[in-house]
A and B are shown apart, each in its own frame.
Chain A
């Protein structure tokens, strides 16, 4: 198993190189000169423009620029700055905790609510509970996240004043409950549907019939044979969700003014700040890669047929 983990970790190196290169090239396809953007609608002299372009290696061949970027990242150069002159690593480490907390909270809500509701619906297939969940999850899936976000923000933030309507720089876990719920909503619906279908399928599977035939008690059958097997696809879904939750937080972070990774990425793309954009997206890619590794390892726990050697 450790050999497997080591192999997977080694694989992240080409993934990192490939991902950063692709994102780097993509940001370079964006027309316009970020230095002109810095100047706003005021004139900027050619000397200053060229000096700034040189400082950020913008006049070099694009692959050379990428190598400069890699050098800064690999050596953890503390002087590696974005176009605003602020150190990139510091910016990311400032923004990461709040986004990570937000994503983990959303993930926890997604997992707990989704699996519990999905299991109950699956066990009582086609009952009233199942029907209500079906309708509810379809509604949740079809309403765009910004509608839910603004409505809940207005109701619980402005009108009732239960939660703070925005998070801001001074965040606490309590402030994040509302945004995390908004972020989790679409995923909860999917997790519920997935769990429900999986449980329902497993209820009629051969091994469950065998277990019942052996005379195992119903609760043991459900716990050990139905639920455990049903969770394999659900765990995959939830696991890789963490990556998309962090990336998908851009809208939620905008509505609730969370100074996190999504917001950082949004601003960086807007300003044509390549070093910051690529660094932020690279962090997202890495989180995604590590989450899928953890998910693969969890398979072995859930499904005895899977062994990593």
Chain B
């Protein structure tokens, strides 16, 4: 019998367990025999979107998941993270991969019947990059010429100078630097096209459009569409010709306040898919007979960053020794097992195992393995350069599940191994921590994480550790690393992976952030749901779900 935390409580409270088990097992088996039906409507876990459903405004999963199904970009992501041209007929780079020419397929339409043209893309991107429009996804336009480091148009201009419409079906993108895998980015939601009807006379995307977007994707909104505080309902778009042709009769993103309630609904058959198992069920969901469980390494990476401006942790011999000592003082497998119940996998690099080119044999990654002797020796050596004093504090946000527990465990490990005063430091909410990190007013190391925007190892490196990059919270700067990343961006095939490995080896010496673990993708579905697969984003391939 399955025993979640709640189940166990119930079991204690009532000893009628025998008959209950029968009832629980009965539900699934009847429907297993039936063949997949293409008109089944699949209900999936969702949360109320926090932003209007506009591609350049939506930056969280509550809005992002529906949006990914309502729109199609120039390319579509396959399950393994590789890309296939979707709306684009071709995306051709020039010799040094700085100018990309995009040709669109003929006959692509939005669900209101209007054509998808070069303008649908270029206008939407200009809109997103213009700071006057206050779009949260402006950041995605930073590689394009004519934007600043955070992706806003230079000097607040209305348009991005690197985007040029050639004709109705052709446009060019000029980049600031060579980037051979640029097309990998283009399946992300910030790059989706927007039809003309979205804009009002003054050129702003209307509120009505943000409530009921018209897209060109595998699905479109049903008549009821986005019902606030309830759900978002999608039905297949009959005119869709791309690679993610829906195999079901529609999707309903049901809104939940907590994943606990959603888990209960999956157990009782009221919800088909929950793509995020609640912490309370992590120990038991894989043995729960009432649900189908999925658990595999995912694409989000956890670390903690030690800013270089902290005393004793500068970019010098002492700093490097201390960083390595801290890293070797942490017993990662112990934490991923005891605290996260194996829903995390100890990290052996700075990227993620789901990506093309990933290897667990990056030279120098022994620094990520627990080694008390070596850690003590390195710390003592650093002490010879400059005597350590004070307290090693580790900042975390208390509103994320497991953060408190792992921070405490890690502080204890560091304390016990190195014999120094170490303690966790709590910030009540994520945004409080982010505010002090963004303002650079934080005086301690802090927890960081990264979920890639597009399936490329470079996306885990450049935006976080390159000099002056947007998410370089620790202000790390290493010219050699910057150069390697640039070269890797311009290189193709195996050369590229070799350069990335070299860059990672450099990071393992400098340790601007201490890699901790990769977060596993976990999900439960009802027993009669079929064809569930995680894509590289740790999300189900919604279009493929059947029952």
Q: With A39-B59, A42-B136 known to touch, is A158 a contact of B230 (CB < 8 Å)?
A: no
B385 at the interface (CB under 8 A from A): no
Closest to B5 in A: A150
Q: Which of B14, B139, B230, B260 contacts A42 (CB 8 A)?
A: B139
Q: Are A266's CB and B50's CB within 8 A? A: no
Q: Are B23's CB and A31's CB within 8 A? A: no
Q: Which of B134, B230, B268, B427 contacts A169 (CB 8 A)?
A: B230
Q: Which of A36, A85, A165, A263 contacts B431 (CB 8 A)?
A: A36
Q: Which residues of B contact A95 (CB under 8 A)?
A: 229
Q: Which residues of A contact B260 (CB under 8 A)?
A: 254-255
Interface segment among B145-153, B173-181, B331-339, B483-491: the answer is B145-153
Q: Which of A32, A158, A165 contacts B429 (CB 8 A)?
A: A32
Q: Which residues of A contact B23 (CB under 8 A)?
A: 159-161
B314 at the interface (CB under 8 A from A): no
For the side of the interface on A, what is the size category?
35 or more
Most buried by B among A36, A38, A42, A95: A42
Q: Are B9's CB and A147's CB within 8 A? A: yes
A48 at the interface (CB under 8 A from B): yes
Q: Are A257's CB and B267's CB within 8 A? A: no
Nearest CB in chain A: distance from B130 CB, A: 10
Interface segment among B364-372, B432-440, B493-501: the answer is B432-440
Q: Are A44's CB and B257's CB within 8 A? A: no
A101 at the interface (CB under 8 A from B): no
Q: Which residues of B contact A244 (CB under 8 A)?
A: none
B24 at the interface (CB under 8 A from A): yes
Write out, one digit per residue, whether chain A residues 155-176 have a CB within 8 A of any chain B CB (1) or not (0).
Answer: 1011111001110111000000
Q: Which residues of A contact B449 (CB under 8 A)?
A: 41
Nearest CB in chain A: distance from B431 CB, A: 3
Write out, one digit per residue, whether chain A residues 68-93 have a CB within 8 A of any chain B CB (1) or not (0).
Answer: 00000000000000011110001100
Q: Are A158's CB and B264's CB within 8 A? A: yes
Q: Which of A32, A48, A253, A254 contacts B134 (CB 8 A)?
A: A48
A126 at the interface (CB under 8 A from B): no
Nearest CB in chain A: distance from B434 CB, A: 5
Q: Which residues of A contact B470 (CB under 8 A)?
A: 42-43
Instruction: Give Cα A50–Cα B83 distance, bound, in whole angstroms.
Output: 37
Closest to B27 in A: A161
Q: With A37-B429, A270-B399 known to touch, is A45 a contact of B151 (CB < 8 Å)?
A: yes
Nearest CB in chain B: distance from A92 CB, A: 11
Q: Which of B132, B136, B231, B270 contacts A164 (CB 8 A)?
A: B270
Instruction: Give Cα A254–Cα B280 distance, bound, in whole angstroms.
Output: 14
Q: Are A44's CB and B429's CB within 8 A? A: no
A153 at the interface (CB under 8 A from B): yes
Nearest CB in chain A: distance from B263 CB, A: 10
Q: Are B156's CB and A150's CB within 8 A? A: no
Q: With A151-B10, A259-B255 known to touch, is A45 a contact of B148 (CB < 8 Å)?
A: yes
A52 at the interface (CB under 8 A from B): yes
B131 at the interface (CB under 8 A from A): yes
Q: With A34-B431, A153-B264, A164-B270 known to touch, is A40 a contact of B59 (CB < 8 Å)?
A: yes
Q: Which residues of B contact A267 (CB under 8 A)?
A: 257
Closest to B47 in A: A267
Q: Which of B135, B227, B228, B435 contacts A86 (CB 8 A)?
A: B228
Q: Which residues of A contact B50 (CB under 8 A)?
A: 38, 83-84, 271
Most buried by A among B135, B150, B261, B267: B261
Q: Are B431's CB and A41's CB within 8 A? A: no
Q: Are B432's CB and A31's CB within 8 A? A: yes
Q: Are A165's CB and B264's CB within 8 A? A: yes
Q: Are A257's CB and B131's CB within 8 A? A: no
Q: Are A47's CB and B156's CB within 8 A? A: yes
A303 at the interface (CB under 8 A from B): no
Instruction: Give Cα A150–Cα B10 distance, bound, in whole angstroms.
Output: 8
Q: With A159-B20, A159-B24 known to touch, is A166 a contact of B261 (CB < 8 Å)?
A: yes
Q: Which residues of A contact B131 (CB under 8 A)?
A: 45, 47-48, 51
Q: With A47-B131, A150-B6, A254-B258 known to touch, is A37 a contact of B430 (CB < 8 Å)?
A: yes
Closest to A143 in B: B13
Instruction: Give Cα A36–Cα B434 distance, bound, in whole angstroms.
Output: 7
Within 8 A of A (CB), among B428-465: 428-435, 438, 448-451
Nearest CB in chain A: distance from B444 CB, A: 15
Q: Are B138's CB and A45's CB within 8 A? A: yes
Write out, one digit per residue, whether chain B residues 523-534 have a CB within 8 A of any chain A CB (1) or not (0).
Answer: 000000000000
Instruction: Give Cα A257–Cα B433 distance, bound, in whole angstroms.
Output: 28
Closest to A46 in B: B150
Closest to B399 in A: A270
Within 8 A of B (CB), among A223-256: 253-256
Nearest CB in chain A: distance from B278 CB, A: 12
Nearest CB in chain B: distance from A40 CB, A: 6
Q: Which of A32, A43, A159 contacts B435 (CB 8 A)?
A: A32
Closest to A154 in B: B10
Q: Which residues of A contact B438 (CB under 8 A)?
A: 33, 36, 44
Nearest CB in chain A: distance from B415 CB, A: 27
A94 at the interface (CB under 8 A from B): yes
B416 at the interface (CB under 8 A from A): no
| A-B residue pairs, 7 tightest by C-beta | A169-B230, A37-B431, A32-B432, A43-B470, A47-B131, A257-B261, A45-B150
A-B contact pairs, 9 of them (CB 8 A): A36-B431, A42-B139, A48-B134, A150-B9, A150-B10, A159-B23, A169-B254, A257-B256, A259-B229
Interface residues of B (CB under 8 A from A): 6-7, 9-10, 13-14, 20, 23-24, 49-52, 59-60, 131-132, 134-139, 148, 150-152, 156, 207, 210, 227-231, 254-258, 260-262, 264-265, 267-268, 270, 290, 399, 427-435, 438, 448-451, 470-471
